[in-house]
Amino acid sequence: MGVKRFVTVADYYIRTLGGRALRLPVGGWGSCPNRGPSREGGCLYCDARGSGTDILQMDLPIEAQIAGYVRTGKRYVLYFQPYTATHGDWAPVAGAVEAGLGHPQIVGLAIGTRPDCLDPRAWDWLEGLHRRTHLELEMGLQTASDATLAFLNRGHTAADFAAAARRAGALGLRVVAHVILGLPGEGEAEGRATAAFLNGLPIHGVKVHPLHIMKSSPMAALYGIGRMAEGGERFSAPGAPDLAVLTRERYISLLSAFLEDLREDIVLYRLTGSRRSTDFLGPRWLREKTKNLNRIRAALKEKGIEL
Ligand code: SF4
């Protein structure tokens, strides 16, 4: 068996941005089509903060968010993470992007959006940004299964994602696809199918993370999950596939299968998640980011996958 070698985002930045760069998450602008009156409730796994990280200071102006994060001598890719940057009136997002690009330590942009929130005006804006700076377009897929996407209340199909990815590819944009492993009803086979689906598209990178449960998410309410999950517990809800909270070992098995089938030139932007807020229910092992990454790297190496 030959060795498979992936490039991580850290190495990719060193190669393409002329040195080390970090991602700087910002938020506070933009909204989301899945929380409006026509698609009540949002995505099943999403929390009240629109899937932002725990460290975002979303109530502060962008200048203050950047100032609170940057360190002397470091360079950053500004990441517009929560909600959907190109939904609704996104003029405030565009304003924040311009303010961010004016900062001397910002060397690129990552814009988070959805495949169904890219109208001609948004494509023009993104293409213009791509010509001016290093731009990554982060788009949620989560899974290539339309049945799971419908269960998750994502509000788009895999074909919608494919169409947006192809259009972005035609414009030369770097698409980073978000994938969640361990969704209810999904296992290794579904992860491999998602990898095969991405392989057929002009995808630049992937962000993979294990399904985790946030207290404020519709998923916690649907399955009646009210306490911190250690991993391994099973929950049922009428008409829904069973939810098995991932253990670390189970996640590593799912991730290995996904990477075994993924194109080797796709840059790995994330291999796990880490949440600490009081809204986070579990699995608890996700709090141990360094330990998780070490375990993941070691397990992948045994399977001939190097990072
Ligand atoms: S994951 Fe994104 S699209 Fe879905 S509800 Fe959360 S912010 Fe909205």
Q: Which pLDDT tens digit goes with each residue over 112-131? A: 999 988 999 999 999 999 99
DSSP annotation of 8: B
For residue 50, give the ligand 1 atom closest to its CA.
7
Sign of CA dihedral 267, 253, 193, 290: negative
> Hey, is 299 helix, strand or coil?
helix
Q: If we measure between CA atoms, which residue out of 189, 179, 183 comes closest to residue 213?
A: 183
The CATH number that applies at residue 302 is 3.80.30.30
User: Cβ(84) to ligand 1 under 6 A?
Assistant: yes
**Domain containing 31: what range?**
4-306
Mean pLDDT, the chain, rounded, equals: 92
Helix (H) or strand (E) holding 109: strand 106-113
Number of structural domains (the chain) is 1
* Angstrom distance (rounded) from CA 291 to CA 297: 10
* Angstrom distance (rounded) from CA 271 to CA 269: 7
For residue 94, give the amino acid letter: A
How many other β-carbons are positioned within 10 Å of the β-carbon of residue 231?
18
In DSSP terms, 280 is beta-bridged to 214
* Angstrom distance (rounded) from CA 304 to CA 90: 44
- Nearest C-alpha to atom 4 of ligand 1 is from which residue? 43
Task: Give residue 157 CA to ligand 1 midpoint distance, Å.
Answer: 14
User: Cβ(80) to ligand 1 under 6 A?
Assistant: no
pLDDT digits (tens, 9 = 90+) for 232-281: 999 999 999 999 999 999 999 999 999 999 999 999 999 998 777 888 99
pLDDT digits (tens, 9 = 90+) for 34-75: 776 566 678 999 887 655 555 567 778 899 999 999 999 999
Pocket mutation for ligand 1, best pick of 29, 39, 40, 43 (most atoms within 8 Å of C-beta): 43
pTM over 0.85: yes
pLDDT of residue 2: 80
Give DSSP secondary structure letters for 52-66. Answer: --TT--TTS-HHHHH
